[in-house]
């Protein structure tokens, strides 16, 4: 590449965008971890100006020219993939007019503000007009995206989060999983009751000092492969994994009454962190060098939290660490099964974010069905509570009529205009199970490794199959290359049956 | 102002620059306080790209056109001041060509890198060629700035740090102060010896737990008026005051063997912090709304550290806080004079940053004389060690021949190309004394206030006279408006005589 090639112009552009992303990402971390409240107003102003500059630079008309010209330059495979992915991002960013984005920002702001106020009051009727506004604008957005991308409207919305995911592929997968779970959940609950009749659930021996919990969390992060030369663990109200690949900022939240909630959160976020830390550094200034999307990102955190961090083999290794860091009295007299009873609890409930891995997909499938209907116009905003109530009753046996705040008003996603995001959670959970199965096939000692706190071979496999691939392939293609087949819900179902019904 | 006026274009520009400054400022804080070492390389890359974007936006040719056009628009007094100050900044930023700045960056980088390596080895001869390079480029810079600004070369260099300061005004002030201090310092040392013969210096009863030191520091910051809704105190290797006016980030460094070094540092940085927190918020996106310059900034920190924080009245109030926060054993049996003996120690030494307020100005005047000679061509780089040795011998009685690392190689300023900065330290110290005297004239209860830990009236006066004025006036004019006269070294001399010779 010469210094004046279109490709090298795109590299320069990428470095400017990377610097702005770096700034915005670190400012967000600082806001959650360090910023005093009075700094919020100016911080929001700065973030908004930086985001505007980012958009201006990324969507400039000459960028489209460079992308077109780069296609005619002599590029190797990876460079070609970089241009393809950059073009995809450019199209997604430029398919909405500035005028539309202004209307969208207003509708979303109004709806999210009202939601924050009215959710607590359980006031659906008061919220409905703003919700209708945000759905109308989302439909319009879906049409604009669909036209630019040559996709169905709902697929065009999902394309922002998981490139290549199509509802034609997801529908049968979710249908099969739903059918499975409607029977499975009651069985798992019954199985759990039998076990508890024989072995009552032991309460945690609280309090657990926060400093001790922190050393336990750090020890487990380190064993799992988190690189503290390129990242750290802090505290924030909502745990997250942020920062940049060379400096990953994870947070947790401690409570002295329970060490498991923070610890499982740390393991989850470590999954996100490992993905970011192991992306290919030489491509960090191009879209192709970034994490693939929400479903794959969630698959990496759920791989670590659900497949690894809630497995019996993991706890064979980790139980002694609890005694070591929290003191022997923390779980005095506990056997492995006493601990597993805590991390394998199944319990139906109204709230998605509190759900366990067995019931969570039903919360997601319900939202997928409704939001798809909202975008396609087959469900009207005003009918959402009834649609919700019907599905919650059918899928989880929990009616929600007249309970809006624990029903369709519980999540920020729709009020803020994010439609097409929900499926990522469950696609991530299924992907994690499928990846674990493929890993065990390639590396039969994987469970033995966990028993001994060895994660190097497991991470090597994940680095090769997922982390180093970054955004080179679409979401479905990445999964197929890593596991040899397309998304198959059976791996997740087998995983659940093994864990919650005691099947071999 | 209409939306299309040149003035409103400059406002938009200012908001973009403010957002970039916000980002760079907070990234610097994060780098010093939070960042793991492995994050450094990408952080440096991001900072350099952001700084480049800032420079590009701030120096765009159309900005010059808008500044010229805004001069013809109907503006009120403050808006006119804003345009004047913005023009000054623009001229200072655009008077060096891009080609020159590239050569300058290279010369400075080479010289600073070599200095870091060779200072430890005391290798002046090895460093000299790079130093000659950086001095040559500084002379060239001074000529370019002088031409653009219509100033003498050295004045044009100082103009970057303290607008309006001229060596014609500073020369007699420094000459008088030097003559005073050459006699004063030996007298102060002798006076101290007499006092110590009667009252031996009591050692500090270490160790002092860091957590306790922190609560003491926070209590004193709060009493002094620091607003914790808009700022915080953290830890870093080199203490500083950074962030933005709505979110001031201060740091300190604790040692368990001595609580006073951290505490006096906290009081000093609180002085910087109060200035930033009390700048006029409505002008934060214009140069006119920022702190006036280095000498005034230093006057605000030295006002708090030297005039307030080392006064007997302050310690009458603060001594009980030491016992309260560090425990009664920390200074058991101490009287006020035992504590003052620690915060009033006078001791000649080779190192500027370790100097006390009585000897510090001599270190500065020595550097001022030499760097002025270097810029004006009357002193050659190779003669600096001999010039240094001669002055240190004369001013402080300390020869430095053949001791380069504790002589002309001790500071980063010259190796990094910063000429014209040193005078700010002592101009700040003199300004602080003059401000205190003016405050006491306007508010005779000022010392009584300190005795009672009351700082509201003192801060109200400082807010009116200095903080709220931001960059509306030049450095000398700001001082004259605040105190009724131009910089007069007698206030500082009187202050020293009262404190160190026991004069009334």
pLDDT in tens, B372-395: 999 999 999 999 999 999 999 999
Structure tokens at B463: 């807010």
User: Nearest-CA residue of chain A relative to B281?
Assistant: A42
- Quote the CA–CA distance of A212 and A259 in Å, as a whole number: 10
If you write DSSP's letter for every residue of B151-192 in order, what string do you get?
A: S-HHHHHHTTTSTT--HHHHHHHHHHHHHHHHHHHHHHHHHH
Q: Which of A16, A43, A234 sits opposite B247 (nearest CB)?
A: A43
- What's the burial of A323, exposed, middle or buried (CB within 10 Å: 0-12/13-18/19+)? middle
- Quote the CA–CA distance of A304 and A263 in Å, as a whole number: 12
Structure tokens at B174: 């420094």
- Quote the CA–CA distance of A208 and A376 in Å, as a whole number: 50
B177 neighbors B190 (Cβ within 8 angstroms): no
Average model confidence (pLDDT) for chain B? Answer: 97
Interface of A with B (CB under 8 A): 15-16, 18-20, 22-24, 26-27, 30, 33-39, 41-43, 45-47, 49-50, 53, 227-232, 234, 243-244, 246-247, 284
- What's the burial of B183, exposed, middle or buried (CB within 10 Å: 0-12/13-18/19+)? exposed
What are the pLDDT digits (tens) for B161-202?
Answer: 999 999 999 999 999 999 999 999 999 999 999 999 999 999
Q: Tokens 């006026």 appear where?
A: B5
- End-to-end, the C-alpha distance of chain B in Å comes to 56
Q: Which of A30, A229, A232 sits opposite B26 (nearest CB)?
A: A30
- What's the burial of A456, exposed, middle or buried (CB within 10 Å: 0-12/13-18/19+)? exposed
Instruction: State the angle between helix axes of B77-94 and B61-70 in degrees (0 to 180), rounded to the nearest 10.
Output: 150
Q: Strand pairing of A247-252 and B231-235?
A: unpaired
Q: Say yes or no for a CB contact (<8 Å) between A50 and B20.
A: yes
Q: Would you state the pLDDT for residue B504?
A: 84
- Quote the CA–CA distance of B483 and A109 in Å, as a whole number: 50
Instruction: State the angle between helix axes of B167-198 and B384-396 in degrees (0 to 180), rounded to the nearest 10.
Output: 50
Q: Which of B39, B43, B247 sits opposite A39 (nearest CB)?
A: B247
Of B141, B159, B269, B357, catalytic: B269
User: Nearest-CA residue of chain A relative to B42?
Assistant: A246
Task: Please tell me chain B's helix, strand, coil percentages from 3-state DSSP, rounded to the nearest 5.
Answer: 70, 5, 30
Res. B2: pLDDT tops 70 = no
Q: Tokens 């002030």 appear where?
A: B173
Contacts of residue A46, defined as CB under 8 A and 6 or more positions apart, other chains included, come to A27, B18, B19, B22, B23
A388 neighbors A407 (Cβ within 8 angstroms): yes
- Quote the CA–CA distance of A253 and B98 in Å, as a whole number: 49
Q: Would you state the pLDDT for residue B33?
A: 98
Q: What is residue A202's DSSP assignment?
A: P
Mean pLDDT of the B419-435 span: 98
Q: Would you state the pLDDT for residue B217?
A: 98
What are the pLDDT digits (tens) for A301-346?
Answer: 999 999 999 999 999 999 999 999 999 899 989 999 999 999 999 9
Per cent of chain A over pLDDT 70 is 99
Q: Would you state the pLDDT for residue A1?
A: 57
Confidence of residue B1 (pLDDT cuts 50, 70, 90): low
Nearest residue to B58 via CA among B28, B88, B80: B88
CB contacts, 8 Å: A20 with chain B: 50
What are the pLDDT digits (tens) for B78-109?
Answer: 999 999 999 999 999 999 998 999 999 999 99
Q: Say yes or no for a CB contact (<8 Å) between B36 and A229.
A: yes
Q: Which of A23, A38, A49 sits opposite B50 (nearest CB)?
A: A23
What are the pLDDT digits (tens) for B51-63?
Answer: 999 999 999 999 9
What averages of pLDDT result for each successive group of 10 residues across chain A (504 residues)? Answer: 85 97 98 96 95 95 97 94 97 94 93 95 97 97 98 98 98 98 97 97 94 98 98 97 98 97 98 98 97 98 98 97 94 94 97 97 98 98 98 97 96 96 98 98 98 98 98 98 98 98 90
Res. B370: pLDDT tops 60 = yes
Which of B49, B51, B56, B230 should we substitute to test contact with A (largest number of A Cβ atoms within 10 Å)? B49
- Quote the CA–CA distance of B113 and B261 in Å, as a whole number: 30
What 3-state class would DSSP assign to B241?
Answer: strand
Res. B362: pLDDT tops 80 = yes
B374 neighbors B157 (Cβ within 8 angstroms): no
Q: Would you state the pLDDT for residue B4?
A: 83
Q: Would you state the pLDDT for residue A176?
A: 98
Which of A24, A32, A33, A42 should we substitute to test contact with B (largest number of B Cβ atoms within 10 Å)? A42
Q: What is residue A258's DSSP assignment?
A: B
Q: Say yes or no for a CB contact (<8 Å) between B46 and A284.
A: no
Active site residue A503: no
């Amino acid at each position: 590449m010469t210094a004046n090639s279109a490709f090298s112009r795109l590299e320069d552009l990428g470095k400017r965008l990377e610097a702005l992303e770096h700034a915005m990402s670190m400012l967000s971390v600082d806001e959650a971890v360090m910023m005093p409240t009075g700094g919020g107003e100016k911080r929001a102003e700065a973030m908004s100006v930086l985001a505007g500059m980012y958009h201006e630079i990324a969507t400039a008309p000459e960028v489209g020219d460079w992308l077109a010209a780069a296609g005619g330059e002599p590029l190797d495979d990876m460079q070609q993939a970089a241009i393809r992915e950059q073009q995809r991002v450019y199209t997604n960013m430029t398919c909405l007019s500035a005028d539309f984005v202004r209307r969208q920002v207003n509708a979303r702001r109004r709806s999210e503000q009202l939601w924050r106020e009215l959710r607590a009051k359980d006031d659906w009727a008061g919220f409905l007009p703003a919700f209708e506004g945000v759905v109308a604008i989302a439909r319009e957005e879906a049409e604009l995206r669909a036209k630019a991308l040559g996709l169905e409207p709902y697929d065009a919305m999902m394309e922002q989060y998981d490139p290549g995911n199509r509802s034609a592929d997801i529908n049968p997968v979710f249908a099969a999983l739903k059918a499975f779970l409607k029977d499975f959940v009651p069985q798992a609950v019954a199985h759990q009751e039998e076990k508890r009749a024989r072995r009552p659930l032991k309460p945690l021996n609280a309090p657990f000092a926060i400093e001790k919990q922190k050393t336990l969390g750090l020890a487990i992060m380190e064993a799992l492969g988190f690189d503290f030369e390129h990242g750290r663990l802090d505290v924030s109200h909502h745990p997250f994994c942020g920062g940049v690949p060379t400096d990953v900022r994870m947070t947790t939240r401690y409570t002295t009454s329970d060490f498991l909630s923070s610890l499982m959160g740390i393991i989850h976020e470590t999954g996100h962190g490992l993905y970011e830390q192991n992306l290919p550094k030489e491509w960090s200034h191009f879209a192709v060098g970034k994490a693939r999307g929400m479903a794959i990102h969630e698959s990496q955190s759920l791989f670590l939290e659900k497949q690894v961090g809630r497995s019996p083999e993991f706890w064979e290794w980790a139980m002694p660490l609890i005694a070591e860091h929290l003191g022997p009295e923390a779980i005095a007299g506990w056997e492995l099964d006493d601990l597993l009873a805590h991390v394998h609890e199944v319990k139906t409930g109204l709230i998605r974010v509190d759900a366990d891995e067995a019931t969570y997909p039903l919360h997601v499938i319900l939202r997928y069905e409704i939001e798809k209907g909202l975008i396609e116009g087959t469900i009207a905003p005003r009918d959402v509570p009834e649609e919700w109530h019907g599905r919650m009753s059918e899928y989880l046996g929990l009616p929600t009529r007249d309970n809006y705040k624990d029903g369709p008003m519980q999540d920020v996603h729709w009020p803020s205009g994010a439609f097409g995001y929900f499926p990522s959670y469950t696609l991530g959970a299924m992907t994690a199970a499928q990846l674990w199965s493929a890993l065990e096939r390639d590396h039969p000692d994987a469970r033995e490794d966990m028993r001994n706190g060895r994660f190097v071979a497991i991470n090597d496999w994940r680095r090769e199959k997922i982390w180093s691939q970054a955004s080179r392939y679409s979401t479905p293609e990445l999964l197929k290359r890593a596991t040899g087949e397309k998304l198959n819900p059976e791996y997740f179902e087998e995983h659940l049956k093994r864990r919650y019904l005691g099947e071999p």
